[in-house]
Amino acid sequence: MTFRPLAGLRVLDLTSVVVGPVCTGRLAQYGAEVIKLESPEGDLMRGLGGISPTGEHSGTYLHLNRGKRNICCDLKNAASLRLIDKLVERSDVIVANMRPQALARLGLDADSIRSRWPGKIYCLISGYGTDGPYAGDPTYDSVVQAVSGITGLTLARDGRPAYVPMLICDHVVGEITAGAILAAVLQQRTSGEGASIEVPMFETMAAFVLQEHLAQQSFVPPVGPPGDRRLLSPHNKPVETADGWISFTINTDKQVKAFLRAVGRDDLLDDPRFASVATRAMNVDSWFAIRGAPLTSKSTTEWLDIFQRADIASKPCHTLETIVDDPHLNAVSFFVPDDHPTEGATIAMRSAFRVDGAPLDLQSFAQPKGWETKAILADLGYGEREIDELIQGKAVVAV
C-alpha cells in the first residue's frame, strides 16, 4: 500500500556501511526522498557485505539501500564540494556518520551547515560523540559490542566473551536515530525550527544493555550485583530435542504449571521454590536448570505440538538455511522476488509491519554508483555542458 508520511522531505545521506544506511533506509521507507552520496570508491558494504554476481552489490548493501537515489562525487574535488553545497541547501535533513574531524574539514559538520541554514535538521551518528575521552575515535559494530558490555554478557554466562554474530549495534542505533530524526521533523514542520542531533553509538548501546542489566545496581545503595540472573543463566539457551533444537519461554505461574505437566515433571507442581514469580526469581539457577534440560525423548515437531496445546510460547530454532522456508514467512509473502539492473534476479524482503492491514509497497532497487548523478545534477539546475564538465573533471561519476 502507499504509506508516505514523509513525502516531500528531502534527506541528504552522507552515511555508509550499516548504521547510517539503516537510519536513512527507514526514512526512505516512510516516503522521504533520500539522496545517497557515495565516493568513487563506493560504500564499503558493497563488497564487505558478501559475494555478489558483479562484486558491486552485496546482499547486505541491496537490503539496506533500497529506495534511495544515488549520486557519486569526489569529496576531494572543489567542484564536487560546490555541488554538495547545493544539495545541502535543498535538503531538509542531513545525516552523516563520518568522523567529526573529517566532516569539519569539509565544512559538512553541524555548526558549519546550521550557521548558514538554521532551519536544517542535522544528524551525526558517531562512535563516541564529540566530547569525552573517546570522542573522535574510530569504531565498528564489534568494538561497540565490546565496550558497551554486550560481550560481557556472554562472559558472565559462558565464561568467555563473544560477539553477537550480526551487526546488532548498527541496527539498533540506526533505528533509534531514525526515531530521533522523525521527532525533529515533527518539530520542524510545526515550528520551522531545525535541530542538531548527535547519536553516539557507545552511550546508546550502553543504555540498551543496562536497561536490563544494571538491575540491582539501579538502587542506592545497590541491593545486589548487576545483571538479570534469568538472562545470564547458562541454562537460558535453546533446548535440544531428538532431532534438533527448540526455543520456548515460560514466565507466568499458569505457564509454569502447564510446562511441568507437559514435560512429565508433575513432582515439581507443588515445589515451593517454583510456585511463584518471586520464588522462581530467588531460585533462578535451579529453575533454569529444569527448564533447560534436554528434551531428547521426542522430536521438535512433537514438542511443538505438545507446547502449542499447552499454550506455551514455542518455536523451532531455525538455521540460516531453514528460515527462508518458514511456513509463516512464506504464507505472508515476506520474501519478494525482484530484479536488479546489474545483479539480475534477487530476493527482497517486504516491510515487516502493516498499515491499514497491508504491508508497504516494495521500494525501488539499491542503485549502482552514480545511477542518478546526471538526474540529480539536472534537478540542481546544472545544464548538460556543466554536467559533462563535472564528469570529465572527475568531480562526479555517472552511469
Cell numbers that stand for 88 in this block: 545541502
Q: Give 350's pLDDT tier (boundaries 50, 70, 90).
A: very high
Where are any strands of DSSP class E within the chain?
10-14, 33-38, 68-73, 93-96, 121-126, 195-200, 239-240, 245-249, 313-316, 335-340, 344-349, 354-355, 358-359, 396-397
Q: How far apart are CA 65 and CA 59, in angstroms?
A: 10
Q: Which residue has the cell 526522498?
A: 33
* pTM summary value: 0.94
Domains assigned to the chain: 10-208+333-397 (3.40.50.10540), 239-316 (3.30.1540.10)
pLDDT digits (tens, 9 = 90+) for 145-192: 999 999 999 999 999 999 999 999 999 999 999 999 999 999 999 999
Q: Are 174 and 201 in contact (CB under 8 A)?
A: no
Q: Are 318 and 309 in contact (CB under 8 A)?
A: no
pLDDT at 391: 97
pLDDT at 99: 87
Cell numbers that stand for 211 in this block: 536497561
Q: How far apart are CA 212 and CA 316, in angstroms?
A: 26
Mean residue pLDDT of the chain comes to 96
- Statement: residue 1 has pLDDT above 70: no
Q: Give 380's pLDDT tier (boundaries 50, 70, 90).
A: very high
Q: Give 196's pLDDT tier (boundaries 50, 70, 90).
A: very high
Q: How far apart are CA 361 and CA 355, in angstroms?
A: 11
Q: Are 5 and 31 in contact (CB under 8 A)?
A: yes
- Statement: residue 223 has pLDDT above 90: yes
% pLDDT > 90, the chain: 97
Give the type of residue at 337. P
Pick the more confident residue, 366 or 102: 366
pLDDT at 2: 86
Distances (CA, A) of 319 to 245, 326, 352: 10, 10, 20
Q: Give 340's pLDDT tier (boundaries 50, 70, 90).
A: very high
Angle in degrees, CA 107, 87, 27, rounded to 5? 105
Q: How far apart are CA 188 and CA 9, in angstroms?
A: 11
pLDDT digits (tens, 9 = 90+) for 225-262: 999 999 999 999 999 999 999 999 999 999 999 999 99
pLDDT at 181: 98
pLDDT at 30: 97
